Structure 1
């Protein structure tokens, strides 16, 4: 299907499932910058609009409705894609509106969204650079997701516990949380060390505490 036909079918589908302000915003049509993003960046990269939502509605921490230019939602990954035309986007803003825009982005990040922004100039002059950034972000998610899928349920829960503790992890924590025996807890912890997910935090002949190697799974385990 051609780009034009794909966009028309995609927009029509979203019109059919929206009501109220959500319908009005999509019914008025995409702006020049948004259309250019789809034409120069998104469609050449994927060849479809699957999992991409225009003018996506979210509720902020003040219970106000906000709208994201494009939201990519696939499994547990949520990416907010914002297009910023140079000039009018900032020139027409008051100081309060500018501060509110920053609050809006912060709220999205706190709520677990990945936020990526592109200027109109970058989309027009160097769409490949925009594609690389999106590919890197989605690619990182796919790698992390695959590594989590290869872990057992208990191993994933240990990673979750270690994140929440925000201190060195001890075998007693695992025994209490998972209600398992000493040998099984030790086996799980040693297995995660071998996989590079945990590292020794204390102990010489025997490890007495563990620490996470990274927080790379934060957005997948929240």
Structure 2
């Protein structure tokens, strides 16, 4: 599936399930910066929007509603994502507004959220760096102490396998990590020997891998 098709389905899914202020906010608040984040960062990193919620409603310490640019939710992760542009709304903040923003972020953390913020400039100019931040975060949150002994590339492969929804091939790893094919075979073999992956055999040889049953 292409990004354009997946993005259209993603928006239609959430629009159909919103009403009132939540629907208005999605229609008006989800703009160019948010779409750029999905296209340049999230989609290349995970190839799925499963678990991701645009313009997600939360409540402040004083009971007021506010909306996160995105929330990612699953059994292991509760992640708030914000895309910050550098414009008048930033440079002209009053002292009270600046302090209020910090209080709001602190409240999210106290409520059990992890928070990642990306500048719009980094999304546009350094998307691969943003992808790596997300992949490392997801790997650490999901694997916990079991990640000891796993390299960054190995964690990235496991995170991709979790989101892919089908067996993982060496070609997937090559494209995702931008590495040579022989290195993708080596990394997949290492993860198999460590017990994280198991082979899916073709007629004569291993053609793909899936997560081992114990992996959550």
Unaligned runs of 5+ in 1: 148-222
How many residues align? The count is: 147
Matched, 1:64 2:64: yes
Which stretch shifts more, 137-146 or 47-56? Answer: 137-146
- 1:28 match: secondary structure: helix
Q: What's the CA shift for 1:145?
A: 8.1
Q: Distance in 2 between matches of 1:94 and 1:23?
A: 29
| Aligned residue number for residue 28 of structure 2 | 28
What displacement does 1:28 show? Answer: 2.5
Q: What do residues 86-136 of structure 1 show as CA deviations (whole Å, max 9, x unaligned)?
A: 123412433222211111101001111000010011111111110111111
* Distance in 2 between residues matched to 1:41 and 1:89, nearest whole Å: 24
| Structure 2: distance between partners of 1:97 and 1:29 | 19
Q: What is the TM-score with the length of structure 2 in the denominator? A: 0.64
Uncovered stretches (5+) of structure 2, i.e. residues with no partner: 148-216
Separation of aligned partners in 2, 1:104 and 1:29: 18
- 2 CA distance for matches of 1:27 and 1:132? 29
Q: Distance in 1 between matches of 2:99 and 2:12?
A: 34
Q: Distance in 2 between matches of 1:56 and 1:145?
A: 30
Q: Larger Cα Rg: Structure 1 or Structure 2?
A: 1
Match of 1:101? 101
Return the TM-score normalized by structure 1: 0.62
Runs of 4 or more, structure 1, over 6 Å off, are none
> Helix, strand or coil: the match of 2:105?
helix
Q: Which residue of 2 aligns with 1:44?
A: 44
